[in-house]
């Protein structure tokens, strides 16, 4: 048997049809387990957080490993989490509960004798990172006036998507931090917005480690971070700013990656140059006071540039885009796939996936070409691309995020609930969408991650029943038939 036969992967399946059922639907021949669910006891006195998003598996064992999971936000389902009914300020107790339920979880997971995944309760690896966990700042803004002089900040929040470093740690993007900073600030404890909106690095394999926010990577509504290495060995990290008319960025380190340096390579994220994409001139423009004169007058220090990345990007001619979500790098040709989810202000209801090819196929290049790889719409069968992952064959897998309040109506009446799609990147089906999964009512599928050997696909089911108005009569009862509970699932062949 060839390795391929042993691990047939996920790309061979009979596509499903769009659905509006309150179920997680996967193709015939596939099944799913609930790996972890909101509120689940980790056996360490801690509980799994709310609205799981990005997932990232550590270890080479296909049956047991460590999973990092982002917990993004609370939102309309606060009634179940903290009892907050959406009117007026929250009580201190409601704030405490909500701050505990965001951030991320490290969970040690394992298949049992029946092949069902679950948490290893009480494992020394199980750990919560919350909006209260101390987190170190690194890079130019550390200790700078632009962050109120802080070298360490309190907590992480709005953790949307992310990525894995080349030295086996997780990166987590702080996305829509502004509302949470406001909702959770009190007269006695005012959160500083400059402490949020960063890329956070977490080491799930070292339970005692202090997470870090790397200020060199800029501050904005970070969807994700994806890392690669350029031809001279420098690290390159791409990240999108998910808001209407915001930009795509990449960071290039000054120093070069050395595999034998292991986790010491993290220091490379402290020194380098942040660039913003200019699609008109096919250039990456450095957001550096010394290299881009338009920035020198407005910003007194490089820390100011990084804390106010959006303003700097506009001055540097960064291209406003239709909500850049996830970015992934093709495992075979190194090209960069960018999900632009939609821009309702511009009448872009369905979004696109753009493919950027760096000059000389070198991620350190400052010029490139690009094309639209796939455009959403009724004909193509998908809308609002969001999180992405490649399989080892080079197929692109994409979740969709039609806003829960707009599902199954108006421009979105063709698509059913949100879904998960495979797109071949070569051959006669290049750029065509094949639907693999359909989400429960008002849920979004997020955080796709293929486990070792592609035997398991981890997927988050986020915000089922998000439009619920009466908590006793939720719009979704997934997965238990009771109240809606965001959960991480493991999908495998039967
Ligand atoms: Fe949290 Fe841009 O999705
Ligand atoms: Ca997203
Ligand atoms: Ca991704
Ligand atoms: Ca989204």
Contact between 268 and 257 (Cβ < 8 Å) = yes
Rounded CA separation 369/82 (Å)? 48
Question: Side by side, which strands form the sheet with 368-375?
Answer: 324-329, 336-340, 352-358, 368-375
What is the C-alpha to C-alpha distance for residues 37 and 396, in angstroms, rounded to an integer? Answer: 27
Residue 2: what pLDDT?
A: 41
Q: Which domain holds residue 113?
A: 25-493
Residue 103 within any structural domain of the chain = yes
Give me the CATH number covering residue 343.
2.120.10.30
The answer to the question of residue 8 being in a domain is: no
Q: How many domains does the structure of the chain reveal? A: 1
Q: Is residue 184 part of a domain?
A: yes
Does residue 2 lie in a domain region? Answer: no
How is the chain split among helix, strand and coil, in percent rounded to 5? Answer: 15, 35, 50
- Is residue 20 situated within a structural domain? no
Pocket, ligand 1, Cβ cutoff 6 A: 72, 160, 175, 223, 242, 325
Query: For residue 262, what are its two tokens?
Result: 């292991």
Nearest atom (ligand 1) to Cα of 221: 2
What's the pLDDT at 7? 57
CA pair distance 183, 464, nearest whole angstrom: 22
The tens-digit pLDDT sequence of the chain (494 residues) is 344 445 578 989 999 999 999 999 999 999 999 999 999 999 999 999 999 999 999 999 999 999 999 999 999 999 999 999 999 999 999 999 999 999 999 999 999 999 999 999 999 999 999 999 999 999 999 999 999 999 999 999 999 999 999 999 999 999 999 999 999 999 999 999 999 999 999 999 999 999 999 999 999 999 999 999 999 999 999 999 999 999 999 999 999 999 999 999 999 999 999 999 999 999 999 999 999 999 999 999 999 999 999 999 999 999 999 999 999 999 999 999 999 999 999 999 999 999 999 999 999 999 999 999 999 999 999 999 999 999 999 999 999 999 999 999 999 999 999 999 999 999 999 999 999 999 999 999 999 999 999 999 999 999 999 999 999 999 999 999 999 999 999 999 99
Position 4 in a domain: no
- Domain annotation covers residue 194: yes
Q: How remote is the CA of residue 242 from the centroid of ligand 1, in Å? A: 6
Q: What does the alpha-carbon distance between residue 338 and residue 349 come to, in Å, rounded to a whole number? A: 17
**Which two structure tokens, joined as six digits, stand for 198?**
């960063």
Atom of ligand 1 nearest to the CA of 53: 1
Task: Kindly give the number of the ligand 1 atom that is closest to the alpha carbon of 325.
Answer: 2
The whole-number pLDDT of residue 42 equals 98
Q: Compute the distance from residue 225 Cα to the ligand 4 centre, in Å.
A: 15
Residue 9 has a pLDDT of 82
What's residue 52's pLDDT? 98
Q: How many helices, marked H, and strands, marked E, lie in the chain?
A: 7, 30
Whether residue 30 is contained in a domain is answered as yes
- Bridge partner list, 250: 238, 275
Judge contact between 250 and 273, C-beta under 8 A: no
């Amino acid at each position: 048997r060839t390795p391929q036969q042993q691990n047939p992967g996920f790309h061979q399946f009979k596509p499903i049809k769009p659905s509006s059922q309150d179920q997680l639907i996967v193709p015939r021949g596939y099944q799913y387990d609930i790996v972890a669910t909101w509120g689940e006891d980790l056996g360490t006195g801690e509980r799994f957080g709310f609205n799981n998003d990005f997932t990232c598996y550590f270890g080479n064992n296909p049956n047991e490993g460590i999973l990092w999971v982002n917990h993004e936000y609370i939102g309309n389902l606060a009634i179940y989490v903290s009892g907050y009914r959406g009117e007026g300020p929250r009580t201190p107790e409601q704030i405490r509960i909500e701050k505990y339920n965001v951030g991320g979880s490290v969970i040690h997971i394992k298949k049992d004798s029946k092949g069902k995944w679950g948490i290893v309760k009480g494992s020394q690896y199980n750990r919560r990172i919350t909006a209260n966990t101390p987190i170190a700042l690194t890079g130019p803004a550390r200790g700078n006036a632009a962050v109120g002089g802080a070298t360490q900040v309190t907590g992480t929040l709005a953790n949307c998507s992310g990525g894995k470093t080349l030295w086996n740690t997780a990166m987590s993007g702080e996305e829509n931090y502004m509302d949470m900073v406001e909702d959770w600030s009190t007269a006695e404890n005012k959160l500083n917005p400059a402490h949020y909106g960063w890329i956070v690095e977490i080491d799930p394999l070292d339970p005692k480690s202090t997470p870090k926010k790397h200020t060199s990577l800029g501050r904005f509504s970070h969807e994700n971070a994806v890392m690669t290495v350029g031809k001279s060995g420098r690290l390159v990290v791409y990240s999108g700013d998910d808001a209407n008319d915001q930009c795509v960025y990449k960071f290039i380190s000054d120093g070069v990656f050395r595999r034998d340096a292991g986790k010491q390579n993290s220091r490379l994220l402290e020194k380098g140059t942040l660039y913003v994409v200019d699609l008109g001139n096919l250039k990456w423009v450095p957001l550096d006071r010394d290299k881009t004169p338009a920035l020198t007058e407005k910003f007194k220090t490089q820390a100011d540039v990084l804390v106010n990345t959006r303003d700097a990007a506009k001055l540097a001619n960064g291209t406003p885009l239709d909500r850049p979500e996830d970015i992934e790098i093709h495992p075979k040709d190194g090209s960069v796939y960018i999900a632009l989810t939609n821009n309702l202000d511009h009448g872009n209801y369905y979004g696109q996936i753009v493919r950027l090819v760096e000059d000389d196929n070198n991620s350190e290049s400052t010029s490139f070409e690009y094309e639209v790889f796939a455009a959403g719409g009724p004909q193509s069968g998908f809308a609002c691309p969001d999180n992405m992952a490649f399989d080892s064959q080079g197929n692109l897998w994409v979740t969709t995020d039609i806003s829960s309040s707009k599902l199954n109506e108006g421009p979105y009446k063709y698509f059913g609930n949100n879904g998960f799609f495979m797109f071949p990147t070569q051959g006669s089906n290049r750029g065509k969408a094949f639907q693999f999964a359909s989400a429960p009512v008002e849920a979004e599928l997020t955080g796709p991650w293929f486990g070792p050997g592609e035997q398991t696909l981890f997927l988050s089911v986020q915000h089922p029943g998000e439009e619920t108005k009466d908590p006793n009569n939720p719009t979704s009862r997934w997965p238990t038939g009771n109240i809606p509970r965001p959960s991480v699932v493991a999908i495998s062949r039967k």
